[in-house]
Chain A
C-alpha cells in the first residue's frame, strides 16, 4: 500500500512539474495576449489539474495554495479582473512557490519545508478581493454565443450527482460547471434542490444538490469526460451525446433522458429563439450606446473573425481531439538507456555473425548469409527506432527561457520579446539537457550586453522592445541552434583592444570578424564596462564553448555593430551513434567522427617543418600542427614519420590540426559506449564486428593534452 502510494506521489510530482511548466509558459503568453481565450483555458486547466491531483495524493498545502491561484485565475477568466503586470507577477511568484514545494517532495521533505508562502498567498487573496469589474459588452457576449453555436457539433446531457462529502476532498462541484463553460455553451442548467433537507437536519458540509446540464460544444465526448476525470469513479456522472436525437426531433428518444421533468425539445426551441432575439436587441443597443468605442469594436471584430473562421475552429478542435486521443506511456530515461545499450549489443553481435558467415563455406552458407542479412536489417531498424525514443523536440527547452528573459529584462529595465521557431527540431535527450546552460548564458548575455535600454533603442530608430529569437533546424546530419538578438552588436574594435591588452594575440588586423568575435568565449574575457549581477565577469561565455565542445559541437558568431548578433550552435543529433572513420595505428583501431575530418593525405617530406618546437605540416597555405597518435598513446612500431604514414586533418571547435596514423580502414556507423575509466584523449569505445575494441578519439582532449 505504502509502495503504491509513493508511486502515486511520484506520478503526481512528474505530472505537476509538467503542468507547472505549462502554466508558466502560458502565463507569459497571456501577458502578451491578455484576451486570448485558449491560453486562459490552458492556464486554468493546468492549475486545476495540479490542485486536483494534489488533493488526491493528500498534498493539502499544495491543494490549498493552488486553490488560491485558481481563484485569481477564475477572476481573470470571467473578466472580473484585468490581466495586469502585478497579477502576472503574482502568478509567476506563485508558480515559483509551487516549484519549491514540488522540489521539497522530490527531496522527501514536506511540501512547505522552508517555503514561506504567506505573503504571496495574501497577495493572491488581495487580488481576488479587489475586483475590478470589467463589464464586457453584451454584444461581445452574444457574438460569443453565436460563435460557439456555429462551431458546435454536439449537444450533450450531463447529469452530475456528487457524493455528499465531496467538499471534504477539497473539491467544489461548481468548478466542473466553470470548466464546462470554457468548452461550450450551457443551453440550460437545471439544479435539483429536492434533496436539501429542512434546516434542522441540514449538515453544512454535505452536498445535497445535483445538476442536469444541456450543453452545446464542439468538444468530443472524451474531452467532456476529461473534465470529470478525477471524480468519475466515486460520483455519479452521466454524459450523453443527444445531437442526433435533437437533429431528428426525436421526442420519443429524448423523453428517455431525465432532465428534471423538462422537455428537451422545448428547451432547445426556446434557446434558439432567445439567441436570435438577443443578437438583434444587442446589435441595436451596441450601435446606440457604444458608437466610437474603439476597444469594444476591436473585440467585436475579433469575435466576428472567429465566427468567419468557424470552419478552421472546427479543424482546430478536431486536431486537438486527435492529439488528446494519442496515448503516451511515461518511461524512465534509465530504462531507455538500458534498452539502447542492449540493442547496441545486439547490433554488434549481429555484425560479428555477418563477419563470421562471410568467412564460412559449405552447403548451407548461402541460406545462412540470407538469414544473417535479414537479421541485420531488422536489428538496424530496431536500433533506429530505439534511438528515436531518445529524441525530443526543442520546444520545451526554448519555451522555458520565456520566464528568464522576462525576469532578466525587467531587472535591467529593458523590454525584450522572445520569438521562437523550429521548436519541432529533435535532438537526443542527453544533448538537450546539456545545452541548457550554454543557451542560458548566451541569452543572458544578449539581454545584458546586446539589447539596449528602451530610450537608447528609440533614439537609434529601433522599436523600444528588443527581440531575441531562438531557432533550430537540421543541417548536414547535425542540428543548428540559432540565438539571435537585434541589439547593439559586437564591437570589433573594443574586442581587438581587449585581445591586445590581454596579450592573447599579437596582431588582430588579419583576423576575420568571426575569428575576432570568438575571443569572447575565452575564459575571463569581457569587454563589459561594468560587472552586473548577470554578466560582465567573463565567466559564462567560456562555459558556452566548453559545453558545446564537449558535445562535439561548434559555435559560430555573426554580428553587426548597432544591428545585433547571431550565435550558431552546431550539434550532433545524438551522442550515442556517430558516423565514424576507422583508422589504425599498428594493430590498434581508433575512431574519428566523420564530420571532424577535413582531408587525409600522404605529405611530401618538404611540407613538414618544426614551428615553435611543434611538428607542423604545410596545409592549404598555412602550417598546422601534427599530433602523432603512436607517441601520444605509447604505441611502439607505428609510423612516427609523417611522410611514411597518413595525415588526417581534423577540425573541432574551430581548431584545426593533423593526426598521424598508419592507415584508414573504413567508414562505419559506430555505436558508442561510455568508458568506466577516464582516459585522456579517448571519449568512448565500441566493439567491432570482429570482436575487437575500437577507441573513439576525443579531438578536443587530444589537442589540449598535447
Chain B
C-alpha cells in the first residue's frame, strides 16, 4: 500500500495543468492527516491559477484546516505581494 505522506511539494511553476493533481492530493490527505505541509521549496513562478490555489490553501489555513506552509521563500513572498497577496 502506498504510504501517504504529509507533504505536498509544489512544482517549479504552478499553473493550471498542475493544480488538479494538487487539489486531489489535498482532498485525499485532509481526512487522514493531522497536518498537511505545503512545501514551497521548488516553487519559482506561478500564473493566476497558481496564485489562486495558494490563496485557496491560505484561506483553508486561516480557517485552521490542517494546512501549513513550509519553505515559503522571500522570492515567492515578494511575488505574491506584488500581485496583491496580503499576510
Query: A residues within 8 Å of B by Cβ?
Result: 71, 129, 131, 133, 166-167, 172-174, 177, 181, 186, 189-191, 193, 196, 199-200, 202, 204-205, 207-209, 211, 213
Q: How far is the CA of A29 from the CA of B30 in the complex (A)?
A: 53
Q: Which of A186, A189, A190, A196 contacts B52 (CB 8 A)?
A: A196
Q: How far is the CA of A655 from the CA of B35 in the complex (A)?
A: 92
Contacts of A172 in B (CB 8 A): 47-48
Q: Count of chain B residues with Cβ under 8 Å from any Cβ of A?
A: 26
Q: Are A193 and B48 in contact (CB under 8 A)?
A: no
In the complex, residue of chain B having the shortest beta-carbon distance to the beta carbon of A195: B52
Q: Are A204 and B84 in contact (CB under 8 A)?
A: no
- Using known A-B contacts A133-B75, A167-B16, A199-B23, determine if residue A191 contacts B48 with beta carbons closer than 8 Å: no
Q: Are B26 and A181 in contact (CB under 8 A)?
A: no
In the complex, residue of chain A having the shortest beta-carbon distance to the beta carbon of B46: A174
- Using known A-B contacts A177-B82, A196-B59, A211-B84, determine if residue A204 contacts B48 with beta carbons closer than 8 Å: no
Q: Are A208 and B26 in contact (CB under 8 A)?
A: no
Q: Which of A167, A193, A204 contacts B59 (CB 8 A)?
A: A193
In the complex, residue of chain A having the shortest beta-carbon distance to the beta carbon of B22: A204
Chain A interface, >50% SS class: mixed
Q: Are B49 and A205 in contact (CB under 8 A)?
A: yes
Chain B interface, >50% SS class: helix
At the interface, yes or no: B19 with Cβ under 8 Å from chain A? yes
Q: Are A207 and B55 in contact (CB under 8 A)?
A: no
**Nearest CB on A from B49, distance (A):** 6
In the complex, residue of chain B having the shortest beta-carbon distance to the beta carbon of A172: B47
Q: How far is the CA of A177 from the CA of B85 in the complex (A)?
A: 13
In the complex, residue of chain A having the shortest beta-carbon distance to the beta carbon of B48: A173
Contacts of B20 in A (CB 8 A): 204
Q: How far is the CA of A473 from the CA of B5 in the complex (A)?
A: 74
Q: How far is the CA of A207 from the CA of B16 in the complex (A)?
A: 10
Contacts of A200 in B (CB 8 A): 27
**Nearest CB on B from A69, distance (A):** 15
Q: How far is the CA of A649 from the CA of B52 in the complex (A)?
A: 81
**Nearest CB on B from A132, distance (A):** 13
Q: How far is the CA of A209 from the CA of B19 in the complex (A)?
A: 16
Contacts of B47 in A (CB 8 A): 167, 172, 174
Q: How far is the CA of A207 from the CA of B51 in the complex (A)?
A: 10
At the interface, yes or no: B2 with Cβ under 8 Å from chain A? no
Contacts of B75 in A (CB 8 A): 133
Q: Are A207 and B52 in contact (CB under 8 A)?
A: yes
Contacts of B26 in A (CB 8 A): 199
Contacts of A211 in B (CB 8 A): 83-84
